Structure formats: C-alpha cells, structure tokens
Amino acid sequence: MTSFGEIAARLEGQAIEVPSWAYGNSGTRFKVFGSAGTPRTVQEKIADAATVHRFTGLAPSVALHIPWDDVDDFGKLRTYAEDLGVRLGTINSNTFQDDDYKLGSLTHSDPRIRRKAIEHNLACVDVMDETGSRDLKIWLADGTNYPGQDDLRGRQDRLQESLRTIYDRLGADQRLVLEYKFFEPAFYHTDVPDWGTSYVQCAALGDKAVVCLDTGHHAPGTNIEFIVMQLLRLGKLGSFDFNSRFYADDDLMVGAADPFQLFRILVEVVRGGGYDGDDPVAFMLDQCHNIEKKIPGQIRSVLNVQEMTARALLVDTEALAVAQAEGDVLAANRVVMDAFYTDVRPDLAAWRESRGLPGDPEAAYAASGYQEQIEEERVGGTQAGWN
C-alpha cells in the first residue's frame, strides 16, 4: 500500500480553477434564490474567489464568462485579481442568451447569425490577450427540439467552418476548448453532444483545439472515466468542468453526489499522465450553489477534488499491474478499493498546516468573519447572476 508521505509531494501545486459565476446567484427555471453577501460586480466575485484560495491554497485562478463578467478595462481587472493573489483564467464565451441564437449560433443556417457568434468569440480572444488567459472555452446550446427541424450534417459542416475562423485567430500559447453536453436546452439533438463529436471537431482544427469534459454532461450510466482514458490516450483532453449530479446537469458540488465516481475519474487522470505529466489537464469547477452558501461551497468543492486526488495517488500501481497481469480480478479490485477507502483527511489536514494553511479550511473560513463582513457591506445594487 502506498503511504500518504510518498504522495504528498505530488499534491503540491495542485490548481483547481473556480468559476466567477459560482459566486453569483443561480438557480433553476423554477426559482433563482438571492442570498445575503452575493457579489454585485466581477470585482466582488474575484474577491470571493481569492478568499477560497487564501484558505485552501488550491484555487489560484478564476474563470470568467463573457458578457456576465464584461468590464471596460480587462488589463485593470487582471491587476486587481493579481493584487488579490489570483490569476484570471479560462474565458468562457456565451452564445446561448441572445434572441438571435434561438435556432443556433456557430451552426446557424443564416451566415449573418454565424458571423455574429464568431465575432463574439473573436472578441473573447481579445479579452484573453489582455487577461493573459490560455483557454477560450466554447459550450454551445445549439441543437434542435424536433426531428426534421434542421439538417444535422449541414450544422456540423457550418460548425467546423465557424470554429476554423475562431481557431485561426488564436495566439501561439492559446487554446480552443470545446465542451460537449448530451442535451439541454435542446431536447432532440445537440450539435456537440458527446466526446466523440467534440473530438472530431477539435482534431480537424489542430493541436490547439482540445476537449472539455463537464462531469454533468453525460447520459446516466455513462462510464466517464473510460472517456477520460480515451481522450488522454488521444492527447485531446484539455480540461474538466467538475461538478456532480444525481439526475441531469445538476451542477452540484463535485464529489457530493458520487465521490467514488470522482475517485475513479482521477485514477484514470493520474494513470493517463493528465495530473502531473508534461501536459496536465486543466481542472476547473463549474457549479451553481443554488441554496447553500457559495464561498463555503467552493471551499468544500476544491477540498473534495484534493481529497480524491490524494486517494487516487495512493493506488498501489505495482500491485495493481501484477494482479491485472495475473487476471486476479478480486486482488486487482482490492488494490483500487483499498486506496478509495483510505481516509486521507487527517493526513491532508496535517499537510496543510505544515504549509501554513488551516488544517480545516471550512472551519477557518467560518471563524474568519469574512461571510458576516460581506453580508453587511454588500447591501443595495443588483446581485450578480446569469445575466
């Protein structure tokens, strides 16, 4: 059995990007609940994200969503973030909230609409030049609700043409990250519904185009770690949007609904060289704290990823290889389950303290008074949300 001491060094430098929109209000079609202390501005979102990093040492960058986080001067915003100890990360484009995109955006049959969607993504690359961000993340709501509504093949060809124009604008160190989702808001077909479609579209573009795997975007029963293995094998797994779900795209805290699945995913990330290999996969959270407090929810979430990463690193890969080679089914499974059942929390707490961080970041945050302070200060104005 591998010991915590043997893997602790590999936990150094783990970085989990947090999404600006997790600090704002979000909800469902039934209700978006407001909450005291919710940010009104992107600066307040960044301040809250920086607070998560301060208590965990795990979240050194914040993903932005355009236009939700639009500002006049992104260079100034970058300095603001860096003064708080965090970087501006992935830039998420948004072609799913404009009336013009009702029947599609980058796939739309009308070249004028496609051009508009392309221009928005090109503007997002301009933002990346100012923020120093590497990744442009594209998730498309594009799809149809009824058979025959549009030509599925024509939409794929138009999608490739649109992505090509965006791809060609990327700088040398920039990437296009294409996120897939099997349904919603479209209910018959989605134009980028699965890893295969995202892979096919990315492979046709080139090396700077990679796949984003959102853990909430698969049909129930999907073996997500198999997809992780395959995309790593193909060198095309660019990033994760981590969250968890019981039913659909619930966007719950990662590791909350199915910690064992998160563990299995991270075992394949480590095995495939996606954790601390030459080209590590970008870890990002993509969550909505509809009813629970947002900053404690984010703190718990990055800790859940760290905890399951530690357990995944504990897998005794030599013993596993032997058992697999011998076809010893029970022994092989035992090796993996022993790592999963190893409670690393006390070791992690001591390890954090050894690095000047609170052993229990959630308790430290609760005792810090930051929550009470923002609830007192952030009165008036419009609380941030998906708009």
Site for ligand LRH, rule CB under 6 A: 21, 92, 139, 179, 181, 214, 241, 249, 286
The number of beta carbons lying within 10 Å of the beta carbon of residue 144 is 20
For Mn ion, the closer of residues 28 and 324 by Cβ is 28
Q: Ramachandran region of residue 221, left (φ > 0), alpha (ψ -120 to 50) or beta?
A: left
Q: Ramachandran region of residue 148, left (φ > 0), alpha (ψ -120 to 50) or beta?
A: left
* Lookup result for tokens 């096919």: 200
The one among 241, 249, 268, 307 contacting Mn ion by CB under 5 A: 241
Asked if 251 touches Mn ion (CB under 5 A), the answer is: no
Judged by CB under 5 A, the number of residues near Mn ion is: 3
The one among 17, 214, 249, 307 contacting Mn ion by CB under 5 A: 214
Instruction: Considering only residues 24 through 63, tell me which ones interact with Mn ion, judged by CB under 5 A.
Output: none
| Minimum CB distance to ligand LRH, residue 192 (Å) | 11
The one among 44, 142, 268, 286 contacting Mn ion by CB under 5 A: 286
Q: How far apart are CA 165 and CA 163, in angstroms?
A: 5
Asked if 142 touches Mn ion (CB under 5 A), the answer is: no
Between the two ends of the chain, the Cα-to-Cα distance in Å is 50
| Minimum CB distance to Mn ion, residue 54 (Å) | 25
The number of beta carbons lying within 10 Å of the beta carbon of residue 60 is 18
For Mn ion, the closer of residues 195 and 351 by Cβ is 195
Q: How far apart are CA 148 and CA 188, in angstroms?
A: 10
For ligand LRH, the closer of residues 258 and 347 by Cβ is 258
Distance set, CA 361 to CA 58, 77, 196, 356 (Å): 11, 27, 39, 11
For ligand LRH, the closer of residues 65 and 114 by Cβ is 65
| Minimum CB distance to ligand LRH, residue 312 (Å) | 23
Positions that interact with Mn ion (CB under 5 A):
214, 241, 286
